[in-house]
C-alpha cells in the first residue's frame, strides 16, 4: 500500500495525515482554506469551538518537541477535544513491539486520534497501518522523512503574506539532508504550483537525489537568495548529525548565516521564515530574526490553525465513513 | 427532481422592505437604539447586507458560518466550503438581530446562538428569517418573517444570490442541498 492510499478515504477525503507525498493541489488548498476559517477562533472571548467535543486525541511523542506538542495540544483543545500527552523515551532495541503494545493499550482507552512524533522515519505510517479502523493518525515528524503539518503551516504563512504560489521564488537554506521539514516543504511548494524552488546548502548537507525533487541547487547563499520572495531557513539538526559534516558553527554562519547585508540580495518585500527553534548567530543574525521581514512568530500562530484544520478534516472523514 | 421558481428578486426585495419596517417598529417598542446585525452564511448574509443598509445600522455587519457548531459533524464530517465567521463588534450586552434565509428544523439557529455566545453574552437576540417553513425539530421561532411557506417534508426551498436573489423549491431530492440543516 502506498502512503497516499493509506492516508485517504475511498472518497478521497483525508483519513490520516502522514506525508504531503501523493496529496493533490485541491486537497492541500482545502487544508489551507479550512485553516483560514479557524484563525478567527483564537481571537474570540471563548477560544473554543465544539467541533470535536467528546473526541480523545493522544499526543504520542517519542522525541521531544515542546513547540510542536504544545501547538497540537492547543489546537485540539480549541476544538474541544480531550488531550492525552504521552512522552515516551524510545528503547532502540525493542521499539517495534513496544510501539504496538503502547498502541493497543491506548486504543483500549478509546483514543480517536494519535499525533505521532518519532525519531525513526516511517513510524507514523507504521502506527497508521496497525491502528484500529476508527483511529486517525497525524504525523508530527518522523525521522528524516516528513513533517507535513509544519510544511502546511509554512504554506499558510506564505499564502497569507504573498497571496498565491504562482510567480513565487522560494529558497530553502541549510541542512536539507537531515530535514524532514525541507522534504515536506519542497513537495508542498511544487504541488501548489510555486514557480521556482531553490535549495541552498553546503554539499555535505544535501541529499544525493535532491535534484529529482524538482529544485534548483545552490551552494552560495547570496547567489541563491537573489530576487527570491521567500527565504526559509532551516535549523542545523545537530542531534541527527553523525561525523564531521561541518567544520564548525562559526564557519557555517560565515558562509550560510543570514544577515541584513545578505538579505539585500532578495526582493525588497521578501519574507524570512524559520521552523524554530532558532540557533541565533548560527542560521541567522538576531537582527534578521527579530527584524521586519521575519514572520517566524506568525508561523507559530498559524501552526495552531493548520493543526485544527487537519485534525477536524481527518476526524470528520472518519465520521462520514461510518454513515 | 423538479425545480420550481418560487419568488423572484423583485418580490424578495419587497418582502425585505416590509421586514425592515417590522424590525424597526420592534426596535422602537423595545427602545433599542444601537442594535448590531449578524447574517448566517451564505443566504442569511446576503439578506443581512440589504437589511443592514436599509435600517442604517451603525455597527458593521457580522457574518457567521456555523459549520464548527453543527450537531451533525459526527455524521457528515467537515463542510469543505466553510467560511470564517466574522463578528466585527463586541457581542457583550449588545442587542443582536440574527438573519437567516430559511427557518426549517431550527438546528442552524441553535448552532448560531451557541456560536454567538462564544463571542460574549448578548443583551438579546431577535431572529429574522426570509422564509419560515414547516418542519421544526427544536423549540425555536422567528420574530420577523418575510413569508410563511408550508412545504412537504421532501420539498426544499433554496435561496440563490447574491445578485439577483431568487427562491426555488426543489421536489424530492434530499441531496438537492449539501447543507440540509436549515
Per-residue pLDDT tens over the stretch A203-225: 988 988 877 889 999 999 999 99
Q: Does B119 touch chain A (CB under 8 A)?
A: yes
Whole-angstrom distance between the N-terminal and C-terminal Cα of chain B?
20
Task: Please state the domain count of chain A.
Answer: 2
Q: Are residues A49 and A160 in the same domain?
A: no
B115 lies within 8 A of chain A by CB: yes
The residue range of the domain holding B111 is 2-25+34-71+82-176
- Domain-embedded: residue B45: yes
> Do residues A79 and A19 both lie within one domain?
yes
Based on the fold, state whether residues A136 and A96 are members of the same structural domain: yes
Same domain, A309 and A277: no
**H helical segments located in A137-278:** 148-162, 180-191, 221-224, 249-256, 260-263
Nearest to B78 by CA among B88, B65, B93: B65
pLDDT tens digits, residue range A109-143?
899 999 999 989 999 999 999 999 999 999 999 99
Count of domains observed in chain B:
1
Q: Is the peptide bond before B164 cis (omega within 30 degrees of 0)?
A: yes
Catalytic residue numbers of A, as ranges: 67-68, 95, 117, 147
Shared-domain flag, residues A139 and A234: no
**Residue A90 belongs to domain spanning:** 3-147+301-322
Q: What is the DSSP code string of A27-42?
A: HHHHHHHHHHHHGGGG
The interface predicted TM-score (ipTM) is: 0.73
Who among B84, B85, B118 is closest to A48 (CB)? Answer: B118
Measured from the Cβ of residue B158, the count of other Cβ atoms closer than 10 Å reads 19
Residue of A46, A49, A310 to mutate for B, most B C-beta atoms under 10 A: A49
Residue B138 within a domain: yes
Q: What is the pLDDT of residue B177?
A: 44
Helix, coil or strand: residue A215: coil
Q: What are the strands, taking DSSP E only, across chain A?
A: 56-61, 82-87, 113-118, 136-142, 169-173, 196-200, 216-218, 230-233, 271-273
d(CA A226, CA A243): 32
User: Hey, are the CB atoms on A37 and B118 less than 8 Å from each other?
Assistant: no
* Residue B77 in domain: no
- Do A208 and A177 reside in the same domain of the chain? yes
Render B51-79 in DSSP notation, one character per residue.
HHHHTT-SSPPEEE-GGGG-TTHHHH---
Same domain assignment for residues A178 and A293: yes
Cell, residue B110: 441553535
Among B73, B80, B83, beta carbon nearest to A319: B73
* Residues A106 and A191 occupy one common structural domain: no
CA torsion sign, A132 to A133 to A138 to A144? Answer: positive
- Tell me, what CATH number does A188's domain have? 3.40.50.1370
| Cross-strand bridge partners of residue A11 | none
Residue A231 corresponds to which cell in the numbers above?
527565504
Q: Would you write out chain A's pLDDT as a tens digit for each of its 323 residues?
A: 455 589 999 888 999 999 999 999 999 999 999 999 999 888 888 888 999 999 999 999 988 888 899 999 999 999 999 999 887 765 444 556 677 888 888 899 899 999 999 989 999 999 999 999 999 999 999 998 999 999 999 999 999 999 999 999 999 999 998 899 999 999 999 999 999 999 999 998 898 887 788 999 999 999 999 999 999 999 887 666 656 667 788 888 999 999 999 999 999 999 999 998 898 999 999 999 999 999 999 999 999 999 999 999 999 887 644 33
Say if residue A138 is in the same domain as residue A14.
yes
Q: Are residues A226 and A315 in the same domain?
A: no
pTM of the model: 0.86
Q: Residue B59 maps to which CATH number?
A: 3.40.50.2020
Give A280's DSSP letter: B
Q: Give the CA distances from residue A119 to residues A46, A89, A123, in Å, rounded to whole numbers and listed in that order.
A: 36, 10, 8
Contacts of B85 in chain A (CB under 8 A): 37, 40
Does the CA dihedral A139-A141-A143-A146 come out positive or negative? positive
Amino acid at each position: 500500500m502506498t502512503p497516499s492510499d493509506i492516508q485517504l478515504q475511498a472518497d478521497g477525503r483525508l483519513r490520516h495525515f502522514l506525508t504531503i507525498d501523493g496529496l493533490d493541489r485541491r486537497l492541500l488548498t482545502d487544508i489551507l482554506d479550512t485553516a483560514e476559517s479557524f484563525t478567527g477562533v483564537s481571537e474570540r472571548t471563548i477560544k473554543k469551538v465544539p467541533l470535536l467535543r467528546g473526541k480523545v486525541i493522544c499526543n504520542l511523542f517519542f522525541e521531544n518537541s515542546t513547540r510542536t506538542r504544545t501547538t497540537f495540544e492547543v489546537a485540539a483543545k480549541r476544538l474541544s477535544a480531550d488531550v492525552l500527552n504521552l512522552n515516551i523515551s524510545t528503547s532502540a532495541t525493542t521499539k517495534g513491539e513496544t510501539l504496538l503494545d503502547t498502541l493497543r493499550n491506548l486504543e483500549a482507552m478509546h483514543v480517536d486520534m494519535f499525533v505521532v512524533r518519532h525519531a525513526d522515519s516511517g513510524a507514523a505510517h507504521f502506527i497508521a497501518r496497525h491502528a484500529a479502523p476508527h483511529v486517525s493518525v497525524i504525523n508530527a515528524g518522523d525521522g528524516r522523512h516528513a513533517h507535513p503539518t509544519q510544511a502546511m503551516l509554512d504554506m499558510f504563512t506564505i499564502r497569507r503574506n504573498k497571496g498565491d504560489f504562482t510567480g513565487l521564488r522560494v529558497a530553502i537554506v541549510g541542512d536539507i539532508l537531515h530535514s524532514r521539514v525541507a522534504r515536506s516543504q519542497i513537495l508542498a511548494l511544487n504541488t501548489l504550483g510555486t514557480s521556482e524552488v531553490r535549495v541552498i546548502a553546503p554539499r555535505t548537507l544535501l541529499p544525493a537525489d535532491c535534484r529529482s525533487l524538482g529544485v534548483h541547487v545552490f551552494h552560495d547563499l547570496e547567489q541563491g537568495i537573489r530576487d527570491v520572495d521567500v527565504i526559509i531557513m532551516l535549523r542545523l539538526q545537530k542531534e541527527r548529525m553523525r561525523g564531521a559534516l561541518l567544520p564548525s558553527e562559526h564557519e557555517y554562519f560565515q558562509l550560510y548565516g543570514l544577515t541584513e547585508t545578505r538579505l539585500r540580495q532578495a526582493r525588497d518585500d521578501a519574507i524570512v521564515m524559520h521552523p524554530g527553534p532558532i540557533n541565533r548567530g548560527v542560521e541567522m543574525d538576531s537582527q534578521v530574526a527579530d527584524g521586519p521581514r521575519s514572520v517566524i512568530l506568525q508561523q507559530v500562530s498559524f501552526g495552531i490553525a493548520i493543526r485544527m484544520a487537519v485534525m477536524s478534516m481527518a476526524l470528520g472523514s472518519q465520521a462520514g465513513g461510518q454513515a | 427532481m423538479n425545480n420550481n421558481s418560487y419568488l423572484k428578486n423583485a418580490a424578495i426585495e419587497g418582502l425585505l422592505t416590509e421586514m425592515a419596517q417590522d424590525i424597526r417598529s420592534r426596535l422602537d417598542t423595545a427602545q433599542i437604539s444601537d442594535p448590531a446585525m449578524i447574517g448566517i452564511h451564505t443566504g442569511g448574509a446576503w439578506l443581512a447586507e440589504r437589511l443592514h443598509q436599509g435600517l442604517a445600522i451603525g455597527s458593521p455587519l457580522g457574518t457567521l458560518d456555523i459549520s464548527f457548531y453543527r450537531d451533525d459533524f459526527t455524521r457528515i464530517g467537515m463542510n469543505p466550503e466553510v467560511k470564517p465567521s466574522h463578528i466585527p463588534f463586541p457581542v457583550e450586552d449588545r442587542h443582536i438581530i440574527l438573519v437567516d434565509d430559511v427557518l426549517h428544523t431550527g438546528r442552524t439557529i441553535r448552532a448560531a446562538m451557541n456560536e454567538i455566545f462564544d463571542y460574549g453574552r448578548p443583551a438579546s437576540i431577535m431572529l429574522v428569517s426570509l422564509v419560515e417553513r414547516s418542519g421544526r425539530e427544536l423549540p425555536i421561532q422567528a420574530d420577523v418573517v418575510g413569508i410563511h411557506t408550508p412545504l412537504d417534508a421532501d420539498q426544499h426551498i433554496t435561496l440563490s444570490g447574491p445578485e439577483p436573489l431568487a427562491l426555488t423549491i426543489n421536489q424530492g431530492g434530499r441531496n438537492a442541498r449539501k447543507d440540509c440543516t436549515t
